[in-house]
Each structure stands twice: as C-alpha cells, then as structure tokens.
C-alpha cells in the first residue's frame, strides 16, 4: 500500500464525538489497521465545525482535512449535521476559486457502529492525499513569484 | 499554568506499539508541562492515585492523560483530578489506544503520533477554564414506548418504584410479540399464562397511564424535562365507554378483515378485540375493511353497542406530556418471508412463518390449537422447519443471527409431536445456537425425546408435487442431497428492526445501526443506556433478544431511571455556549439556528439588543458558535481558541519541521 | 423635471421628519463623488447623481442605528438595504429609501487607463456617452467601456425596495452570465497556478482593512475577528498566510449574505480582485439553494436554515 511507505503527510480530522469519533474508537477496538497520518480533533458535533477551521488548517500546512459526523437525521443534537452539510458543501465548492485544491478536503458521515467504514474512509482519504502529494507551501510560491518577477 | 502529562501503557495494549516512555519524555518540551511520566494502568487505583499525588506534589493545575478514548474513561479521570482538588474540566485526554496503538504496528510512527496527540491536548488544556455545573429540576415521570414484555416489565418496575409511568403502545392492546406465542422455551409454559397477569398489573397499577393505539409524534426537551407529543390514532371506539363485551364483533357483517394479531392466519371482523386477554379489552375498527367506511352505510356496530361507544367521526388526538426520562422498548419485526422465493413463502399456502405456526398451535388461535394445512385443513404428517430465513445471510443484507430462532424451532418441533404424535419433524439448520440456561438440553430433547430429525444444511428449493411440498436440501454431515415430501413447511423467520424504528430514534435523538436497531451507550458497559441522557433501551429494539433477556433489560432500564430520579435536581453539563456581551452586536443569528430555543434576546443596559444563553437549556452542540461571525458566542470547552490551538499544534509545528 | 430635481424635491419634503439623508456631492475633482449628510434644506442643493456616484451609501446605515435616516440608493445598493432589513441589522421603520434607477457607474481604474486624469477639467455622462474635457480638448467614450465590472452583469438596475423612486425604471442592461464566465475561466487554470496567483495577490495586500470597512454587511465593526485575540483566528503579522486567511474569513462570513455591491474591491488600494471570492460564493448559493441575497426582505439566508433532504447536495457516502 503506497500510503504506508515513506513519510507521512499531515491530515487533520474533525470528528463528531457521538458518531465518527466513536466509529474511530470502534475501528480501534476491532484492530482495523489504518494509515497513521491522520490526527483527530474531537468536536461535540459537526454543527460546531466552522468551515474556516478547514481553511485555517489547509493554509497552515495541512495536506488534507477530513470532517466526519453523524449521518443526516441521526444527529445527537437533532440539527447539527444539517447545518454542517450546508456549510461544508458550500466550502467544498468554494475551494477551487481560492487556489486550494478541493480534493484536499472531504466530509462524510460515519456512525459509532461503523468501524469498518471508518477504516475505509481513512484509508481512501489518506491514499488520495498521498496521490496528491504534499500541499503547496506559501513561502515557496512567494519565492517562485519573486524569482519570476526579477527574471 | 502547570501541566502534568500521564502516559498510559495500558499493559501492552499501548506499550506494545508505542514507546510510552519517550512520549512522556518528549511531552516535557511542550509549553507549561512541568511533569510527565508513564503509568502501567492509569485508570487503576494506583494509577489514579499517582495522578492525585503528582497534582499535589507538583502543584499541577491541569492534567493530560494519554491513554484510551475519552469516550471510555474521561469521567474516570475527571473524578480523579476532582478528588485532588482540581476542577474536572482541567483534564484533557489524548486517545493513543483506539486511535493509535490498536490501528497500526509501526512503533516509530505510533510514538510520533502519540507525542503529537499529547501536544494537541496540552495546547487545548492551556486554554481550558474551570467549569461548574448548574442544577435544574426534573419531572419524575417516565415514558415507556412499546408495550411488549420489555416495556411492560420496565413500566411495572418504575411504577413499583414510585414513579409515574406513561406506557404508549402502537396497537390496540399491549402484550407485543409474546402475547402471540403459544408456549415459551425452554420450560414450555404457556406464554399468555405468564404474561397475562403482568398485563393486568399494568392496567390496574395506580401509577401507570396506559395509552394504546398511540404513537410518539414529537419529542422536545432534554433529560429531566422532555416534552413528548403523543398521537392517539382514531379507533372509532370511545375507550371510556367500551366495556369489551364483544357484541359489536359478533354482529359485524364484514368478516373478512385481515387478522393482524393472528398473523393473517384466518380472518376477523372489521370491528374486533384482537384477542381474549387483550389489555385494555376494547374494540377497534379497521377502516380498511369496515363497510361503513368503504361503502358509506352499515353502522351495525353502532346500533348494537349497548353503551354507544362507536363513533365513526373519531379523529386522531394529540396529547403533550411532560416526562423526565424515556424508555424505548419498541421491539422487533419479522423478516418478510416472501423475499426468499426459493422457499415458496406467499406462493404456496402450506409454507407458513414460525409466528403463523405459533398462532396455529395456540388454543386461542384461529384453528383452536389444531395444526392444519392451510390448503385443505388436513393434519400434516411431515413438517419441515427451515432455519435462518432472513438471518445470517449476507446476500439479503441480514448478516446477523437473530438469536432465538433455533430455540423456538426446537420448541415448535416438541409441540408438534405433542399435538400430532404420528408426525415427523425435520429441521434444516446451519448451526444450533443454544447458549442459555437449559437451552442446549432443550434442543437435545427435541431431537432425542421427540424424534425431530435435524439436518445440517440449507434448503435450496421448495416446490409443489402431488399435493405435497418437496423440500430439497443438502445434508452436509452425510454429504448427500436429500428431499422431504412435506405437508407443511415452517420458516424460522429472523428478527428485523421494527418498522418506524429509525424515525423514532431520530425523534429521540438516539443513534441506530444500519439495520435500524437502536445503539446502546456502550456495547458491554452501558447496554441499556443511550448516548442521549435520559433515554434508555429495553428489549429487542436494541437487537434481537429472547424473553428473559428482554425482561432483564426492562428491569435494568427501570433501575437506571429510578437511579436517575433518585435525585431531586440534576446537574447540567457546564460545557455550554456563552455570549460575550461586549462582542455581541445583537443580530440574533444564533437565536435563529439554535435547535433548542436556548438563546434569548435581552436588552442591555444601554438599550441595545443582545443574545443570552439559557444555561440549563443549552445542550452544547456549538451550532451557534459557527453562526456568529464575530465569535461573540463561544461553546465552552470547545471554544474557537481551543480548536484553533489544536489545529495550530498539528499544522504549524509540522510546517516548521518540514519547511523551516 | 429631471431625475435629480425629482429626488431633491422628494428629499425636501421628507427631510423635516428625518435626522439626516445620506447622498452624494461632487468631490474634489470632476470624476469623484463624495458621500455626505443632508441635515438641513440648504444642503440639498449640493446633492448630485451621475455615473461617478459609485459608493454604496447603505454601508453607513448600521453605524447610524437609533437615528431616523434617509438613504439614496441605486439598484445594486438597494439589495444591501434589503439584506440589512432581512438580518434585522436595521429597522425598516427608521429608514427612508430614496431609490434611483441606474445605468451604470464608472470604474476609476478603467477611466485612468483611457485618459490622463491629471488634466481633466470636466466630466459629463449623457446616456451611454462619457464626455471628458481636458483643457480645450473633449473626448467621447462609450460608458460600456468605462463602467465598473459589476455593471457588466447587472441584473437589478432598479431599486428593489424604496419609499420614493426618482426617474423611470430602466431595462436591465447587464449580462448576468459574464461574471461567472470570468470565474469559470480562472477555475479552469491549473490549481498550482491559482495557488500562486493568490499568493502573489495576498503578498501585495497591505492589510489595511479598507475592504472590510467598505463592506456594508461587515457589521461586526469593532469586534471583527481579524483584530481580536479571543477568538484568536489571526495573528497581527502581515504574512501572506494571515492576509489570505483574513480574505477567506471575510468571504465565508458573507456566504449567502453578500449582495455583490463590490465595495470591497473598489475600496482596495492595491486592486486585489477580492470580489471574485464573493461572486463565487453567491453563484454556489444560487446553484445549491436557489437563493439570491438582498432580494426578499422576509427570506431566510440559506446557511441559517436547512432542509432535511437536500436534493442538490450529493452526500459523500464513501
């Protein structure tokens, strides 16, 4: 598996405590092997997920950001993921114009019982980020532009 | 701040794939960390004591525990640091077991990842605030949804414990699936005889309000203060007037109504009382078959009713009740046997489901307890039972074992022999699952004493031939094909989530699995709790269960409610939203998006509009925090700054390392 | 009576009941207009209206809460007023709206490219013709070539909400598709180029916040999270990352709210095309939720509500 060889990339996960965080626990309890790149930030609900956290992470050096919450209709707070779905979809479609590769961001729904699905999601997303490679670095781009302007 | 970091070995669970000693060592480099160590079992008594000692000795004001999931032990460690004098919210956990040591074997990477998770936790903890819960009053009434044996048991136990109970049942009588059974395994005692008295107790208990033909329409509120709207569906009979005399159904001219209680075996009248022991014993009209409803005229039942209870104009009624806790006991449904065409269910009249067969066995059933072939009314001689119909079958998305089918099939084979001594039973099975007290002995009796022939193998097809049903299957132990000429085929249909279960779960804000069964708080340690405070589970709505387990869970759920209600006041989670009044511009977007109505509009001293959170109503979801563009409303314990600090800990340091 | 005279008459009648009316007066040269407050009748004579009146005067409304204010608006500006009413940021009862149908406003950068502005002594717009006098020389230009980019795709030249309307409504003259074509063309370039493009633009940003201060919907004012430590979204460094983050925060906070008045981009002293972000968000919101901001004062902005089943969102079930 290409993901596991060589160096890690930086993938940040924002997970709802009630579903996906539990799903990741379930995957762990079942000893489902997963790539190690992902670091998980626990949120009380995807309703707490400000799409700006995604941008913040991607501009700060993350190579990929994954958000996962409860399946729609299955929110612990009844409506959180409904708001999240709108906010995150808008973000997903917004990223292309900002110069950030939208493939570096994904959102999905995994419940606490879906350990296997969590394993699939992590593996697939990590593979995707490794295919994309490290995210472009602002400082490098600035250097490039400076060189081009001088030349 | 002075932070202590405790890295857990969890025996070899973590230490096997994470170098915990170097994680602890590396943690000392993080800001404000003044003490770091590793513990073999942090959650054990000596482990907790080590934390408490360190808090005192090193004057710690915050603790990071790197161990298992906070979903597992957050409360344990919160209590531990509280005992050492810290506020319980000055704890953060790094999940280095479920999210690290158990999912990868590369020790170097795991160690690095663990260190980073500790770093995140430290950065978050540096921004934690001590939080103190508020208390609020509770309504000590419990709502039990579902009047099967689990719901009945839960209702009775709560009521005996002194609570007011509202028992809601969708059908016109309580009793559920158990009321339909003839006998129960492994004792072969009469189902109605043991359930009936409990049903009567429900009806007579001064603390229980029974609402039949009713469903939960809407649920609002939170633990201690739920507001539930219950819809009583029109039965066209006034229950206050109906005496259950049965005159209406005796005179009803529409005699071909679907007999739901008898699983469609036989027919009933359009107005009927489902079974003799029904509680409450009240008639109800099935408008699909009632001539008054289908043709517009008839009205016989209204004429003969001595109390004038029949009312064709009756409408659904909505009633709102206030309760402090809810027990969901909605039971299960049966696999649709017509889906597996090879068995001929629905096509051949002599292929019946196990529950239809149960009704045939019952003395109060449509055949008066005589086993007859539905096609011609004759007594069958060869009876074939097919196991795992809709269980343990991936191809139809039913990979799970329904648990009780092996046992009820053995029971039915025994009863068959009792009813028809000349009969021969065949049981096609995959494995025998009989893991209860006296269960395996019972199955053996079916084979050895009652001569049921158990064939290990699957049936490939059932087809009619000369008035019989040919059952073709494999005998995998003998390694041969075999064919039985059966007079009757009984399909041991598996359990499914009750129809409407996901919808109820959504109303209760609890989770359900992909099959529609409700999700318990923890598969082992919180089997009757849910992740929503104040909502409990009992019986097969959580997963297929036999009667003793359902009853046990009913009692367990009741015990949980009684424990919850033992206090007069509950403590609210202090991790709620808070408005920074100086930043609030009063646009009230937060009020608009709050699902709980927990934010109100207030007038500040200068006359300007501001938002304010009602602490005890706020559930802490954080939707408002994202709605507010200027960050004026922050969810405590998950503030923008805390989450940003975690992001920075992960990303900025990464960037520095890779690109500095 | 000319359109301006009608407007003056309307203001004259309404002024006694108002604390002030916000309008435009001639600026320090012929191609600048300046917002000003009409407080007494004598001020009314200073009022002007022509293609130099670029400012969205609705930007001042939230800062004048508690006063009874009149405001002069073009079609595009009126959407801002509608949006402010919808978000309850201003009270409809305390605002009197003087609406003007608009045929387009000038873009100073385009004007500067067309003629030498330092010697201009007079500028006059007559229908679609812009007549520019420098010394003795007068040149005529087509307004279409000099108008603000937002006017190219203008869909609402006539005010959507008003108490008084001066002049006859005009036919929409913009092509709505144009703006999205530009974004599409940008999005079709390789993502590396887009990244580098914005790095270059953000490098030029001087973090002056003119964009924010000109934005009529940036109502946080002193509590902008660009300046705050709690929450601490940005540091005060002027590095590219912080400046880029700020622009994206600004844009995301306007998702489903921005009325595309273009004040952010017009106010930018570095000519950074920051309106592109907001235009894109508006098109997303239109596609996903069939919603346009600043049109219906009773509508709910799409990010403050939801549907249980979102037909337009492909849920990522993987």
The CA dihedral of C211, C215, C221, C223, to the nearest 10 degrees, is -70
* Cross-chain residue pair C191–A79, CB shorter than 8 Å: no
**Which positions in chain C touch B629 (Cβ < 8 Å)?**
219-220, 225, 253
In a domain, C228, yes or no: yes
- The DSSP H or E segment spanning B656 is helix B640-659
In a domain, A5, yes or no: no
* Cross-chain residue pair A45–B622, CB shorter than 8 Å: yes
pLDDT digits (tens, 9 = 90+) for B76-128: 999 999 999 999 999 999 999 999 999 999 999 999 999 999 999 999 999 99
- Res B362: pLDDT: 95
| Res A3 pLDDT > 50 | no
Mutate to test the interface with A, among C182, C184, C194, C273 (most CBs of A within 10 A): C194
* Cross-chain residue pair C318–A101, CB shorter than 8 Å: no
Residues B373 and B433 in one domain: yes
pLDDT digits (tens, 9 = 90+) for B39-67: 999 999 999 999 999 999 999 999 999 99
Is B517 within 8 Å of B542 (Cβ atoms)?
yes
Partner B, chain A 43-62, Cβ-Cβ below 8 Å? 43-45, 47-51, 53, 56-57, 60-62
Distance CA A59, CA C244 (A): 8
In a domain, B241, yes or no: no
Q: Is it true that the peptide bond before C231 is cis, omega within 30 degrees of 0? A: yes
Helical ranges in B84-223 per DSSP H: 107-125, 149-160, 191-204
DSSP B437-454: TTHHHHHHHHHHTT--EE
Q: What is the band of A2 on the pLDDT scale with cuts at 50, 70, 90?
A: very low
Q: Identify the residue whose tokens are 């059932």.
A: B462
pLDDT digits (tens, 9 = 90+) for C266-283: 999 999 999 999 999 999
In a domain, A144, yes or no: yes
Residues B89 and B149 in one domain: no
Measured between CA atoms, the residue of chain B closest to residue C251 is B629
- pTM equals 0.83
Nearest-neighbour CA in chain C from A81: distance (Å) = 10
pLDDT digits (tens, 9 = 90+) for A84-126: 999 999 999 999 999 999 999 999 999 999 999 999 999 999 9
pLDDT digits (tens, 9 = 90+) for A140-151: 999 999 998 876
In a domain, A2, yes or no: no
Nearest-neighbour CA in chain C from B220: distance (Å) = 17
What's the domain range around A119?
11-150
Residues B17 and B72 in one domain: yes
| Res A4 pLDDT > 80 | no
In a domain, C57, yes or no: no
- Res B336: pLDDT: 96
How many domains would you assign to chain A?
1
**Which positions in chain B touch A36 (Cβ < 8 Å)?**
100, 103-104, 106, 109-110, 113
In a domain, A1, yes or no: no
Backbone angles phi, psi at C115, to 5 degrees: -135, 160
Residues B228 and B102 in one domain: no
- Res A82: pLDDT: 95
Residues B16 and B83 in one domain: yes
In a domain, A4, yes or no: no
| Other beta carbons less than 10 A from residue B650's beta carbon | 26
Distance CA B262, CA B354 (A): 12
Question: DSSP secondary-structure letter at C200?
Answer: H
In a domain, A111, yes or no: yes
* Cross-chain residue pair A52–C280, CB shorter than 8 Å: no
- Res B644: pLDDT: 97
How many domains would you assign to chain C?
1
| Res C92 pLDDT > 90 | yes
pLDDT digits (tens, 9 = 90+) for B584-633: 988 899 999 999 889 999 999 988 899 999 988 899 999 999 999 989 99
How many domains would you assign to chain B?
5
How many Cα neighbours within 13 Å face the side chain of C114? 21
In a domain, C266, yes or no: yes
| Other beta carbons less than 10 A from residue C91's beta carbon | 13
Which residues on neighbouring strands pair with residue B424, listed in sequence order?
B382
Which residues on neighbouring strands pair with residue B3, listed in sequence order?
B33, B62
What's the domain range around B479?
333-496
Residue A35 sits in a domain whose CATH number is 3.40.50
- Res B657: pLDDT: 64
pLDDT digits (tens, 9 = 90+) for C52-80: 999 999 999 998 988 999 999 999 999 99
Residue B622, classified by CB atoms within 10 Å of its CB into exposed (0-12), middle (13-18) or buried (19+), is: buried
In a domain, C117, yes or no: no
* Cross-chain residue pair B592–C253, CB shorter than 8 Å: no
Residues B453 and B518 in one domain: no
Question: DSSP secondary-structure letter at C222?
Answer: G
Closest Cα to residue C273, out of C218, C162, C194, C158?
C194
Residues B544 and B597 in one domain: no
| Res B396 pLDDT > 50 | yes
Q: Does A22 touch chain B (CB under 8 A)?
A: yes
Residues B115 and B30 in one domain: yes
| Res C162 pLDDT > 90 | yes
Is A82 within 8 Å of C308 (Cβ atoms)?
yes
Residues B18 and B93 in one domain: yes
Q: What is the band of A6 on the pLDDT scale with cuts at 50, 70, 90?
A: low
| Res B140 pLDDT > 50 | yes
In a domain, C158, yes or no: no
pLDDT digits (tens, 9 = 90+) for B440-482: 999 999 999 999 999 999 999 999 999 999 999 999 999 999 9
Q: Does A100 touch chain C (CB under 8 A)?
A: yes
Mutate to test the interface with B, among A113, A120, A141 (most CBs of B within 10 A): A113
| Res C233 pLDDT > 50 | yes
What's the domain range around C274?
180-312
Q: Does A36 touch chain C (CB under 8 A)?
A: no
Residue B631 tokens read as 């960050």
- Res B655: pLDDT: 67
Average pLDDT, chain B: 95
Backbone angles phi, psi at B152, to 5 degrees: -60, -45
Closest Cα to residue B142, out of B560, B507, B509?
B560
Domain boundary (B564, B592, B612) is at: B564
Residues B414 and B483 in one domain: yes
Residues B281 and B254 in one domain: yes
- The DSSP H or E segment spanning C248 is helix C240-253
User: Checking DSSP bridges between strand B599-603 and strand B382-389, what pairing results, if any?
Assistant: unpaired
pLDDT digits (tens, 9 = 90+) for B553-571: 999 999 999 999 999 999 8
In a domain, A96, yes or no: yes
pLDDT digits (tens, 9 = 90+) for C18-53: 999 999 999 988 889 999 999 999 999 999 999 999
Closest Cα to residue B558, out of B161, B170, B226, B198?
B161
Closest Cα to residue B485, out of B646, B334, B621, B373?
B373
Residues B514 and B558 in one domain: yes
Q: What is the band of C112 on the pLDDT scale with cuts at 50, 70, 90?
A: confident
pLDDT digits (tens, 9 = 90+) for C140-157: 999 989 999 889 889 999
- What is the maximum alpha-carbon separation in chain A? 58
pLDDT cut 70: percent of chain A above it: 95
């Amino acid at each position: 598996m290409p993901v596991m060889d060589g160096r890690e990339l930086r993938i940040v996960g924002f997970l709802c405590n009630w579903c996906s965080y539990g799903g990741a626990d379930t995957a762990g309890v079942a000893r489902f092997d997963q790539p190690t790149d992902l670091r998980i930030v626990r949120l009380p609900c995807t309703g707490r997920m400000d799409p700006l956290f995604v941008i913040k992470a991607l501009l700060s050096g993350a190579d990929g950001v994954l958000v996962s919450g409860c399946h729609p209709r299955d929110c612990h707070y009844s409506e959180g993921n409904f708001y999240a779905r709108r906010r995150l979809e808008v973000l997903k479609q917004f990223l292309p114009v900002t110069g950030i590769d939208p493939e570096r961001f994904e959102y999905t729904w995994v419940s606490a019982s879906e350990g296997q699905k969590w394993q699939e999601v992590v593996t697939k997303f990590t593979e995707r980020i490794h295919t994309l490679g490290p995210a472009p670095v602002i400082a490098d781009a600035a250097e490039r532009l400076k060189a081009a302007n001088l030349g | 701040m002075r932070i202590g970091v405790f890295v857990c070995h969890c025996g070899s669970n973590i230490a096997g794939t994470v170098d915990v000693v170097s994680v602890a060592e590396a943690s000392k480099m993080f800001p404000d960390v003044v003490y770091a160590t590793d513990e073999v079992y942090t959650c054990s008594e000596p482990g907790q004591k080590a934390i408490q000692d360190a808090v005192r000795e090193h004057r710690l004001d915050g603790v990071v525990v790197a161990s298992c999931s906070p979903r597992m032990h957050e409360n344990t460690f919160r209590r531990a640091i509280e005992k050492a004098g810290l506020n319980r919210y000055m704890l953060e956990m790094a999940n280095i077991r479920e999210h690290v040591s158990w999912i990868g074997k590369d020790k170097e990477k795991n160690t690095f990842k663990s260190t980073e998770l500790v770093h995140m936790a430290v950065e978050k903890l540096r921004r934690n605030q001590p939080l103190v819960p508020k208390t609020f009053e509770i309504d000590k009434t419990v709502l039990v949804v579902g009047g099967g044996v689990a719901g009945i048991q839960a209702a009775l136990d709560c009521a005996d414990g002194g609570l007011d109970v509202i028992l809601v049942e969708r059908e016109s009588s309580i009793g559920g699936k158990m009321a339909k059974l003839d006998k129960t395994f492994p004792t072969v005692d009469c189902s109605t005889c043991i359930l009936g008295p409990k049903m009567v107790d429900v009806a007579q208990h001064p603390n229980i309000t029974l609402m039949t033909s009713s469903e939960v329409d809407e649920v609002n509120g939170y633990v201690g203060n739920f507001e539930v709207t219950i819809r009583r569906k029109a039965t066209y009979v006034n229950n206050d007037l109906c005496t259950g005399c049965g005159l209406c159904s005796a005179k009803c001219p529409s005699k071909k109504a679907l007999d739901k209680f008898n699983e469609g075996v036989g027919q009933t009248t359009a107005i009927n009382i489902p079974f003799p022991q029904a509680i409450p014993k009240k008639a109800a009209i099935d408008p699909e078959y009632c001539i008054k409803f289908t043709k517009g005229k008839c009205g016989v039942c209204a004429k003969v009713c001595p109390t004038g209870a029949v009312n064709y104009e009756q409408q659904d009624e909505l009633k709102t009740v206030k309760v402090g806790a809810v027990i969901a006991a909605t039971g299960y449904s049966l696999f649709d046997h017509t889906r597996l065409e090879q068995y001929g269910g629905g096509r051949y009249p002599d292929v019946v489901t196990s529950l239809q067969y149960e009704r045939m066995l019952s003395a109060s059933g449509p055949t008066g307890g005589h086993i007859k072939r539905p096609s011609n009314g004759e007594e069958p001689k060869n009876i074939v039972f097919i196991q795992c119909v809709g269980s343990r079958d991936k191809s139809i998305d039913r990979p799970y074992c329904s648990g009780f089918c092996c046992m009820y099939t053995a029971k039915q084979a025994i009863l068959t022999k009792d009813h028809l001594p000349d009969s021969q039973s065949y049981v096609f099975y995959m494995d025998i699952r009989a893991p209860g007290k006296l269960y395996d002995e019972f199955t053996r009796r079916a084979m050895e004493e009652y001569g049921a022939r158990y064939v290990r193998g699957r049936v490939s097809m059932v087809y009619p031939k000369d008035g019989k049903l040919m059952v073709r299957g494999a005998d995998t132990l003998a390694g041969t094909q075999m064919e039985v000429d059966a007079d009757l085929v009984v399909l041991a249909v598996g359990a499914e989530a009750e129809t409407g279960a996901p919808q109820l779960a959504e109303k209760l804000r609890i989770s359900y699995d992909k099959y529609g069964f409700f999700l318990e708080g923890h598969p082992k340690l919180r089997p009757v709790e849910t992740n929503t405070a104040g909502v409990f589970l009992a019986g097969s709505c959580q997963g297929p269960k036999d009667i003793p387990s359902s009853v046990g869970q009913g009692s367990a759920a009741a015990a949980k409610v009684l424990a919850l209600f033992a206090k007069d006041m509950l403590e609210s989670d202090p991790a709620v939203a808070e408005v920074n009044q100086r930043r609030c511009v009063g646009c009230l977007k937060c009020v608009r998006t709050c699902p709980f109505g927990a934010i109100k509009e207030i007038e500040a001293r200068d006359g300007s509009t501001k938002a304010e959170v009602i602490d005890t109503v706020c559930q802490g979801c954080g939707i408002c925090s994202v709605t507010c563009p200027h960050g004026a409303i922050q969810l405590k314990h998950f503030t923008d700054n805390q989450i940003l600090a975690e992001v920075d800990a992960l990303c900025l340091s990464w960037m520095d390392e890779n690109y500095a | 009576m000319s359109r301006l005279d009608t407007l003056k008459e309307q203001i004259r009648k309404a002024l006694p009941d108002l604390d002030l009316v916000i309008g435009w007066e001639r600026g320090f040269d012929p191609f600048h207009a300046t917002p000003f407050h009409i407080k007494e009748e004598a001020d009314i004579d200073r009022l002007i209206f022509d293609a130099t009146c670029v400012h969205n005067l609705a930007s001042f409304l939230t800062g004048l809460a508690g006063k009874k204010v009149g405001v002069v608006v073009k079609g595009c500006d009126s959407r801002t007023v509608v949006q402010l009413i919808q978000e309850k940021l201003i009270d409809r009862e305390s605002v009197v709206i003087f609406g003007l149908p608009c045929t387009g406003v000038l873009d100073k950068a385009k004007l500067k490219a067309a003629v030498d502005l330092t010697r201009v002594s007079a500028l006059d717009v007559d229908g679609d013709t812009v007549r520019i006098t420098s010394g003795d020389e007068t040149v005529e230009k087509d307004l279409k070539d000099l108008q603000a980019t937002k006017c190219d795709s203008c869909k609402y030249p006539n005010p959507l909400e008003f108490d008084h309307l001066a002049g006859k409504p005009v036919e929409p003259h913009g092509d709505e598709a144009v703006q999205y074509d530009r974004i599409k063309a940008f999005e079709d370039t390789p993502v590396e180029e887009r990244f580098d493009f914005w790095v270059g633009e953000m490098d030029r940003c001087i973090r002056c916040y003119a964009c924010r201060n000109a934005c009529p919907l940036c109502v946080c004012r002193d509590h902008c999270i660009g300046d705050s430590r709690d929450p601490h979204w940005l540091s005060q460094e002027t590095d590219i990352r912080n400046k880029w983050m700020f622009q994206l925060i600004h844009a995301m906070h306007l998702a489903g709210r921005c009325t595309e008045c273009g004040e952010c981009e017009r106010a930018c002293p570095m000519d950074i095309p920051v309106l592109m972000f907001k235009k894109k968000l508006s098109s997303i919101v239109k596609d996903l939720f069939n919603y346009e901001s600043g049109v219906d004062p009773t509508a709910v902005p799409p990010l403050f509500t939801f549907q249980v089943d979102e037909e337009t969102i492909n849920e990522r079930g993987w």
